[in-house]
Amino acid sequence: MTRLSTDSDRHRSGGLTFLSIVNAVALVVTVLFWGMVFFQRLVPFPSDLTSLADRANSAVTYGFMIGDILYSAPLLLLAWLGIWRLKSWGWMAAQMANALWVYSMTVILFRDAYTTMSPGGLLFIPFTLVAIWAIPFLWMHRKDFGIIG
């Protein structure tokens, strides 16, 4: 990525401010959601279950939790701060987080279509809709981050 202008030459638009705040809220909601699932044992651990189908469903849930804590949460933090400060690394983190929203919600909604709508599926749909909007929006505003191309 090539720098287009100095940081002092750039100004954050209302859309970028909105997106930065949404990433901050998504970070908090994600960490609180998975904290409740884990610490309140809302989903039993796979090893506590006997049915193969129940163990598989639990393992998928905990797999998403681990992925969200290791990948999504740090990316949301970087996206929040980087978009707010109009840093190219914030733009990249936001695009990566957006791709994760679309990917993970595709899996969750497909699973829920064959079972029942999960609380996480309902809770995270708005963030996915914002991500779908944000991907092209950020691309059109890449110059605000000093990105040429």
Q: State the total domains in the chain.
A: 1
Give the number of other CB atoms < 10 A from CB of residue 90.
Answer: 24
Expressed as residue numbers, the domain containing 131 is 13-145
Q: Is residue 2 domain-resident? A: no
Instruction: Encode 7-46: b = buried (16+ Cβ within 10 Å), e = exposed.
Output: eeebebeebbebbbebbbebbeebbebbeebeeeeebeeb
pLDDT of 128 > 90? The answer is yes
Per-residue pLDDT tens over the stretch 66-124:
999 999 999 999 999 999 999 999 999 999 999 999 999 999 999 889 988 888 889 99
Kindly state whether residue 134 falls inside one of the protein's structural domains. Answer: yes
In a domain, 55, yes or no: yes
Tell me if 127 is assigned to some domain.
yes
Q: Is residue 85 part of a domain?
A: yes
Whether residue 1 lies inside any domain: the answer is no
Q: Is 4 inside any structural domain?
A: no
* pTM of the predicted structure, to 2 decimals: 0.89
- Residue at 6 is within a domain: no
